[in-house]
Amino acid sequence: MSKRISGFSKLRKEEKIHWLAKTYFKDQEETVKVIKKYWNEDEKLQQLHDDFIENTVSNFYLPFGVAPNFIINGQEYAIPMVIEESSVVAAASLVAKFWSERGGFKANVISTTKIGQVHFMYAGDKDLLNSYFREVKEGLIEATSDITKNMRKRGGGILDIELKDKTEKLDHYYQLYVSFETKDSMGANFINSCLEAIAKRFRKEGIEIIMSILSNYVPECLVRSEVSCKVEDLGGENPQKFAEKFCQAVRIAEVEPYRAVTHNKGIMNGIDAVVLATGNDFRAVEAGVHAYASKSGEYKSLTHCSVKDGIFKFWIEIPLALGTVGGLTSLHPMAKLSLDMLQQPSARELMMIMATAGLAQNFAALRALTTKGIQHGHMKMHLMNILNQLGATESDKKEIAEYFDGKTVSHAAVVEKYKELKNE
């Protein structure tokens, strides 16, 4: 029997669940039970979540953790993190504490410009197109005046419109390349609305508008965060050796794409977790960050390191288009709570906080990788997941956790210990 359905979107939530259970699951009763178990008791709150997207049937929980003790530009923060992977929050917390005793993180926003494009085709005379553009440029900005009115009052809006000739890459292809300042909003809807108004005004015989859309490549919406201290203050048995090995690990990620991708994944452990906690758009951030990592034509590390004149310095430079207003930021109660926890930052402050979370995460991973190895700490944190998978009771968990205290955890070793405990 075909599983296709027409009019699914028009069904009530209960009907959608019933259809889903009947069509795709063996144990329908259990399916419905699981789906409903994750509904919020508060009907109004559930309705709010139902309305975020389309065809909602339930909620999908991710843990909401907190990494305290971050000092950024002298200000103290507890950073909210939403992530499913064990050891990320612990690592961020450990590193925040470590650097809080060494002057904290120093961050600054380099630029906040965002880009949108009206892509169009034109097969006629280039000079005519250029003079038409010069003629209408002011009118294009004027066409958005209603949309940009409030943003201009905040000091934002359209910064410039350029005509770009892309015909060397694709026959007849041109674009209106528009730069924006969107203040505390990520700006996607604002930019897209402006672009559509611009495209409408730009229309003319011979110009075929293909599409109008913001770019998630934001190399001019850039933030930097760094830590530094005297090498001897890094601590440990041989701080000089540690600093040099650590920097070599960064240099490897600067020249070796296979390593760079994993290195940057570790950075994104920190960044994505804060992006999610604050209701920002993680797809937009991910796309922009990885494009930036490839800007030289080769995928490279987003962090850099130096050891010079007895000073260890470690920094990140990363593009982040974020909002502290708009999107889900104030609509999702937990996103709002996250922003309150961060003392209601501006978008610029949030950029600095997120870049710092990414840098901290990378510091933790590299420190572990170049010393004890990653599995020691990671698996220590992952132990509870393995025990939960095995169905361990609270007393089993306690006993096994005690057994592994000081030992390196591996999946096989935990299974063996569990079986031994259960006499299996």
Ligand X SMILES: CC(C)(COP(=O)([O-])OP(=O)([O-])OC[C@H]1O[C@@H](n2cnc3c(N)ncnc32)[C@H](O)[C@@H]1OP(=O)([O-])[O-])[C@@H](O)C(=O)NCCC(=O)NCCSC(=O)C[C@@](C)(O)CC(=O)[O-]
Ligand Y SMILES: NC(=O)C1=CN([C@@H]2O[C@H](COP(=O)(O)OP(=O)(O)OC[C@H]3O[C@@H](n4cnc5c(N)ncnc54)[C@H](O)[C@@H]3O)[C@@H](O)[C@H]2O)C=CC1
Q: Which residues are catalytic?
A: 85, 265, 281, 378
Contacting residue, 319, 323, 358, 377, with ligand Y by CB under 6 A: 323
Provide φ and ψ at 6, rounded to 5°. -110, 140
CB of 207 to ligand X, least distance (A): 48
% helix, strand, coil for the chain, step of 5: 50, 20, 30
CA distances, 256 to each of 171, 202, 250, 319, 364 (Å): 35, 45, 10, 21, 20
Q: Is 324 a binder of ligand X (CB under 6 A)? A: no
Is 284 a binding residue for ligand X by CB under 6 A? The answer is no
Judged by beta carbon distances under 5 to 8 A according to partner kind, the member of ligand X, ligand Y, none in contact with residue 263 is ligand X
Q: Does 293 bind ligand Y (CB under 6 A)?
A: no
Cα gap 246→217, rounded to integer Å = 30
- Ramachandran angles phi, psi of 72, nearest 5°: -125, 120
Residue 105 near ligand Y by CB under 6 A: no
Work out whether 190 is an interface residue with ligand Y (CB under 6 A). Answer: yes
Residue from 115, 140, 143, 186 binding ligand Y (CB under 6 A) = 186
Interface pick for ligand X out of 94, 222, 275, 284 (rule CB under 6 A):
94
Pair 214, 188: CB distance under 8 Å:
yes
Instruction: Scan for tokens 């203040």, then name that residue.
Output: 183
321, exposed or middle or buried, with CB in 10 Å at 0-12, 13-18, 19+? Answer: buried
Q: What number of chain residues touch ligand Y (CB under 6 A)?
A: 20
Quick one: what does residue 364 bind among ligand Y, ligand X, none, with the CB cut-off 5 to 8 Å set by partner type?
ligand X
Work out whether 280 is an interface residue with ligand X (CB under 6 A).
no
Picked from ligand X, ligand Y, none, the partner binding residue 88 (CB below 5 to 8 A depending on kind) is: ligand X
**Per-position x/- string for 112-151, each x denoting binding to ligand Y as judged by CB under 6 A, each - no binding:** --------------------------------------x-
Determine if 319 is a binding residue for ligand Y (CB under 6 A).
Answer: no
Task: Count Cβ neighbours within 10 Å for each residue of 219-234 and write b for 16 or more, e otherwise.
Answer: eebbbbbbbbbebeeb
Q: Which residues of 35-51 are buried (b: 16+ CB within 10 A; e: fewer)?
A: beeebeeeeeebeebbe
Residues that bind ligand X (CB under 6 A): 85, 87-91, 93-94, 97, 262-263, 265-266, 269, 364-365, 368-369, 374, 377-378, 381
